[in-house]
A and B are shown apart, each in its own frame.
Chain A
Amino acid sequence: MLFNSFPFLILLIITFCIYYIPYLKRFQVPVLIISSLIFYAFGEPGLVLLLLFSAAINIVASYYVAFGRKEYRRPIAITGVALNLLGIAFFKYSPLFAHTFLHSGSDLGQFLLNIPLPIGISFFTFEGISLLVDVWKEKYFDNRKMLSPSLSKHAQHTLFFISFFPHLVAGPILKAHDFFPQIGQKKFRDIQWESAFKSIVVGYFLKMVLADNLKDFTYWITYPYFEAHATIDLLVMLFGYSMQIFADFAGYSLIAIGLAALFGYQFQDNFLFPYISGSFKEFWKRWHISLSSFLMEYLYFPLGGNRKGKVRTYVNLMITMVLGGLWHGAAWSYAIWGMLHGLALAAERFCGDKFGTPSSSGYKFLKGIVVFLFVTFAWLLFKLPEFEHVIAYFRSMADNTRLTPGYSLISSILVYSLPVVLYHLSYLVKEKSWLAPVHRFKFAGYAIMIFLILTNSGSSGAFIYFQF
């Protein structure tokens, strides 16, 4: 079910009304679980069983890690994490395995290629792993205080954590230590209306007005259509795609944050104006924060982080980024994308160690441009998962200098990208004193966004991150 569909609106209203009925306040969590399962089942009901199976593994494993015999904690936690990884490996990476190692005509090859990709599996698998590791390590909370000793209550809370609809299919990736402490009865009067409103309006604006329109202009990045476009078109389309992917995913995350707030739950920011980043490290602290912090906490640190010498630091960085790349999709282009970012991070770290980091604003500005260009060109690997098509795109950029540019394509992309640029600039100047009088008219900005959502929405498209 899409956040920008009418069935979702109806489900949301019904859930919201039932959720806050005083007589039913004991059933708030089950109400949200049922609503979330309906939300997930809407497209392909059969795949709910997989979600429930994944949740069951994490319920049982986390319960016995927390309350079982001490000597079994470690093996149960490892088995639980391994089962999560096996699930995602089977459903998400079997086609890649078949493509790479098997003949597509073979029975096994055909079987693996036809395995359906359950929507959101990358997200709920990582959430399950987060629960198991948090319970095993007890780094953030005391299991006996945080988790219910009743198996049925624990099952309810875990299923709720994994399936809560705002984050279920495209994140943000929740961590158990952030979410479990929040589970409890919520009151209507405690809703943070203003922050929920702002998140939802900005989120829908980014998604429905910007991303959904930009997608119809950047469509021509598809092979072989881009071959017939002029160099300047290709550059502008790539810029537009960079804006689109931000608007699409940041939009989704903001809607999720706003919806969760309506039910009394707080999700952390998932995007913090990433295109203003002055370094690759900063970019990854601003882009898809829930994934990068997950990878940092549950992969990079356990690998040793930067505590085991320089060479191991670079190796750990590369492993983390390549796996982070592959998390996005079952194609080698995603691994290459991760590797490129890993190399950029490693090079930046190496140069910083060797030559130091100049603190002049001119240097920061120039580096910011380099980071933006690098990130933007690397998105091409997202749009064109076939590596030879990426090469062909660059070849067309070099060859098509004499073709007539598409003026309307360029002006449209610029118009629909401008709000993303302004959104980032607004963050840079938000503390300036000369802006103080403007803050009184913030409502006008939200009014314009609502107006444009009503009058200028693009065709409803699935969120880009659904495929991950």
Chain B
Amino acid sequence: MILKSIITALLGLTIYNIVVIQFFPNVKVSRHYWQENQIKAQTYVFGNSTPDQVIVGSSLSARLNDKNLPGYGKLSFIGQTVFEGFRVILQRKDLPAKIFVETNYLLRPLSPDFNSSLENPVLFYARSKMEGLRDEKQPLAIVSNKLDNLVKPVVNALARSQAPGTKPSETNPHFENALNNNIEASNRIVDSNEVEQRFALLKTYVDRFVGRGAEVIFFEMPVHPKVAACTIPKAIRKKMKEYFPPTVYKYIEQPDCTPYQTTDGIHLQLGEADTYAVYFTAMRDRIFSGLAKEK
């Protein structure tokens, strides 16, 4: 019974891999944010080539639409920091030529679990050889994805639902609540030792990247003006300039936040994300065309 079960399972795994590679090579299903993060990381690590430019950040820059930033690798992980992204970058032999580092959530607690399965040598090897073991190909996730269309009419019949669509923040009854929570979180007192340790860690990574020939460009995502004026964002800006002087390091400065209403105080609405992507691209071009002229 034990042997039969194990052999059948391994046979199933082999068949699943063949089916996945042959018939569904482009299927990528993420059902929750952790899975979405892992898929991004695995796509980067197991991709055929290292992208030339990579954005590393949190859920704030995860809002940026890939279509507006073609050619960029994106390691913006929901609920995480840039440090998890740095570890992913270091898993490939080659570094990207340019690394854009979001600075908004530098002080968020690090996630010890995020990189553990990616960095596990056994899992890494298995996933590099068998696509069926990667998060994007989880069979139950694929099944539940297919179920969405079946669930929709049933749920609609049960619920007195509004037409689907993103509610604008102005009419979202929870916007004020969410904004206030984010203002409160951004005004909390932070241990100065922890801040120093975190910036020292950032410096270590940046020095390592620069030492290996990559260019590091810092950027701060726009947020609601009230959040932008809070103590933590201000403290981060100040520390950034201390550790990474603008005379030496490149910055895409945070734009004027007044037009950005956001969905909850920190995350851009879809249209706002598009607007910021245009700004981001223009600023990047200005930085590098300036450099080209200097050269």
Whether A456 touches B161, Cβ cut-off 8 Å, given contacts A227-B177, A408-B31, A443-B8, is no
Are B32 and A412 in contact (CB-based, < 8 A)? yes
Whether a CB of chain B sits under 8 angstroms from the CB of A402 is yes
Are B160 and A401 in contact (CB-based, < 8 A)? yes
Are A405 and B159 in contact (CB-based, < 8 A)? yes
Whether A415 touches B1, Cβ cut-off 8 Å, given contacts A405-B161, A450-B9, is no
Whether a CB of chain B sits under 8 angstroms from the CB of A100 is no
Whether A452 touches B159, Cβ cut-off 8 Å, given contacts A447-B5, A460-B117, is no
Whether a CB of chain B sits under 8 angstroms from the CB of A459 is yes
B62 to chain A, nearest CB (A): 16
Q: Which of A228-236, A276-284, A289-297, A426-434 contacts B (4 or more CB under 8 A)?
A: A228-236
Whether a CB of chain A sits under 8 angstroms from the CB of B248 is no
B94 to chain A, nearest CB (A): 27
Q: Interface extent on B, as a size class?
A: 35 or more
Are B140 and A213 in contact (CB-based, < 8 A)? yes
Partner of B181, one of A224, A401, A461: A224
Are B144 and A455 in contact (CB-based, < 8 A)? no
How far apart sit A331 and B282, CA to CA, in the bound complex (Å)? Answer: 53
Are A455 and B32 in contact (CB-based, < 8 A)? no
Interfacial chain B residues near A447, Cβ < 8 Å: 4-9, 12
Interfacial chain A residues near B155, Cβ < 8 Å: 232, 405, 407, 410
Q: Which of B131-139, B204-212, B213-221, B254-262 contacts A (4 or more CB under 8 A)?
A: B131-139
Whether a CB of chain B sits under 8 angstroms from the CB of A347 is no
Are B151 and A404 in contact (CB-based, < 8 A)? no
Are A450 and B151 in contact (CB-based, < 8 A)? no
Whether a CB of chain B sits under 8 angstroms from the CB of A197 is yes
Are A448 and B147 in contact (CB-based, < 8 A)? no
Chain B 149-170 interface mask (CB, 8 Å, partner A; 1/0) = 0111001101111111100000
Whether a CB of chain A sits under 8 angstroms from the CB of B38 is yes
Are A412 and B144 in contact (CB-based, < 8 A)? yes
Partner of A451, one of B16, B32, B156: B16
A159 to chain B, nearest CB (A): 30
Interfacial chain A residues near B117, Cβ < 8 Å: 459-460
Are B1 and A443 in contact (CB-based, < 8 A)? yes
Partner of A401, one of B139, B159, B177: B159
Whether a CB of chain A sits under 8 angstroms from the CB of B13 is yes
A114 to chain B, nearest CB (A): 14
Whether a CB of chain A sits under 8 angstroms from the CB of B247 is no
Are A456 and B138 in contact (CB-based, < 8 A)? yes
The tally of residues in A whose CB lies under 8 Å from a CB in B reads 45
How far apart sit A216 and B31, CA to CA, in the bound complex (Å)? Answer: 9
Whether A415 touches B143, Cβ cut-off 8 Å, given contacts A227-B177, A232-B155, is yes
Name B73-96 residues within 8 Å CB distance of A: none
Partner of B34, one of A193, A201, A216, A448: A216
Whether a CB of chain A sits under 8 angstroms from the CB of B174 is yes
Are A450 and B5 in contact (CB-based, < 8 A)? yes
Are A404 and B165 in contact (CB-based, < 8 A)? yes
Are B132 and A455 in contact (CB-based, < 8 A)? yes
Chain B 1-32 interface mask (CB, 8 Å, partner A; 1/0) = 11011111100110010000000000000011
The residue in chain B whose Cβ has the minimal distance to the Cβ of A228 is: B174
Whether a CB of chain A sits under 8 angstroms from the CB of B35 is yes
Whether a CB of chain A sits under 8 angstroms from the CB of B122 is yes
Whether a CB of chain B sits under 8 angstroms from the CB of A209 is yes
Interfacial chain B residues near A183, Cβ < 8 Å: none
The residue in chain A whose Cβ has the minimal distance to the Cβ of B15 is: A451
How far apart sit A127 and B97, CA to CA, in the bound complex (Å)? Answer: 59
The residue in chain B whose Cβ has the minimal distance to the Cβ of A236 is: B155
Interfacial chain B residues near A416, Cβ < 8 Å: 140, 144
**Chain A residues near B (Cβ < 8 Å):** 6, 193-194, 197, 201, 209, 213, 216-217, 219, 224, 227-228, 230-232, 401-405, 407-408, 410-412, 414-416, 442-444, 446-448, 450-452, 454-456, 458-461
For the complex of A and B, the 10 pairs showing the least CB-CB separation, nearest first, are A447-B8, A450-B9, A216-B32, A446-B5, A415-B144, A411-B147, A447-B9, A443-B4, A411-B151, A443-B5
Starting from the known contacts A443-B1, A454-B9, 11 additional A-B residue pairs (CB-CB under 8 Å) come to A197-B2, A209-B140, A232-B158, A232-B159, A404-B163, A405-B155, A405-B161, A410-B155, A411-B147, A458-B34, A461-B113
